[in-house]
Structure 1
Amino acid sequence: MYSTFIFDLDGTIIDSEMIGLQALQATLKEQGIEKNLDELRFSLGIPGLTTLEILNIADIPTTLESWLEKEKPFLKNVPIFEGMIDVIAVLPKAGIVTSKTTEEMNNSFYLLNIDHHFHSIVCASDTENHKPNPDPLELALQLLGCKAKEAIYIGDSPYDMQCANAAGVDFGLALWGARTVSGFENADYIFENPKDILNLINK
């Protein structure tokens, strides 16, 4: 049914979202800004720079550096969702579109030694505009050599779905990361676990 399967990273392939949220919370607390984790969940799926702009942080470069430093010790051993790599290994073609920067990818994803499973990886450093803008997904389609109708984008955040819709690509919700279907009523597929994705290569 699809020749190409493109994935978000955080909350879809790796279980890293709480690491990022807790590091952000601790960074803000140092500046006297108290936020609970639910108040920071809007940051999931968008670049850290955008998050700090939304929070109206005065010194964004220093704050971003502190946030990344707090994440580093935990991202080196970030868990991969169970069964995910077994699924990706048998897909005809796989790619990644993530809001992580090159530096963040070097401190986390590339340490996991799973990058060989992907034909293309697009991060926040590769495009001027980021999710929910379609640019990163459209770049991935170009690099993977496929048309929008031949691909599906799988993610766990509203930004992922908006990005897919804007690029004319079908969207599959990674429920193991999203933990709710609320707000995802327009998703083309709801995947309860990674193995559900395999149903699409048998059609």
Structure 2
Amino acid sequence: MYSTFIFDLDGTIIDSEMIGLKALQATLKEQGIEKDLDELCFSLGIPGQTTLEILNITDISTTLETWLEKEKPFMKNVPIFEGIIEVIMALPKAGIVTSKTTEEMNHSFYLLNIDHHFHSIVCASDTEKRKPNPDPLELALKLLACKAAEAIYIGDSIYDMQCANAAGVDFGLALWGARTTSGFENAKYIFENPKDILNLINK
């Protein structure tokens, strides 16, 4: 049914979202900004720079650096969702489209030694416009030599779904990361666990 399976990273392949939120919360607190974790959940699925722009942070570059430094000790051992790598290994072709920058990937994803399972990896540094804009996903399609109708994008955030819709790619919700179907009524598929994805290669 699909020749290519493209994944979001945080909250889809690695269970990293709470690490990022707590690091952001601590970074803001140092600047005298008190935020509950619930208030920062909007940042899941978008680049850190965009998050800080929304929060009206003045010195974005320094704040980003501090945020990343606070994440580093935990990202080195970030949990990988159970069963996801085995599923990816069984797929005909797999890629990643993430909102992490190259620097963030170097201090997290690439330390896990799982990048060889993916035919293409597109991060936030690779395109001028980022999710929910379709550009990152369209770049992945080009790198993977795949038509939009032949691919599915699997993620856990509303930004992932918007990106997929804008690129004309079917979207599957990674419920193990999203933990809710609210707001995802237009998702083509709801995957309760990674193994559900394998049903698509048997059709």
- Structure 2 residue matching 1:57: 3-state secondary structure: coil
Name the residue aligned to 1:92: 92
- Structure 1 residue matching 2:96: 3-state secondary structure: strand
What is the TM-score normalised by the length of structure 2?
1.00
Q: Does 1:111 align with 2:111?
A: yes
Letter in 2 for 1:156: D
* Structure 1 ranges of 4+ moved more than 2 A: none
Q: Does 1:157 align with 2:153?
A: no
Cα deviation, residue 195, structure 1:
0.2
CA RMSD of aligned residues (A): 0.3
Q: Does 1:191 align with 2:171?
A: no
- Structure 1 residue matching 2:111: 3-state secondary structure: helix
Name the residue aligned to 2:41: 41
Name the residue aligned to 1:200: 200
Cα deviation, residue 5, structure 1:
0.1
Cα deviation, residue 82, structure 1:
0.1
Q: Flag structure 1 segments of 5+ consecutive residues without an equivalent.
A: none
Name the residue aligned to 1:82: 82
Cα deviation, residue 31, structure 1:
0.5
Cα deviation, residue 121, structure 1:
0.1
Give the whole-Å Cα distance in 2 for the aligned partners of 1:38 and 1:191. Answer: 24
Cα deviation, residue 186, structure 1:
0.2
Q: Size of the alignment, in residue pairs?
A: 203
**How big is each residue's C-alpha offset from its partner over 1:56-98, in whole Å with a ceiling of 9 and x where there is no partner?**
0011111110000000000000000000000000100000000
Give the whole-Å Cα distance in 2 for the aligned partners of 1:61 and 1:164. Answer: 29
Cα deviation, residue 37, structure 1:
0.5
Cα deviation, residue 15, structure 1:
0.1
Give the whole-Å Cα distance in 1 for the aligned partners of 2:21 and 2:195. Answer: 27
Cα deviation, residue 106, structure 1:
0.3
The equivalences for 1:159-178 within 5 A come to 159-178=159-178
Cα deviation, residue 130, structure 1:
0.2
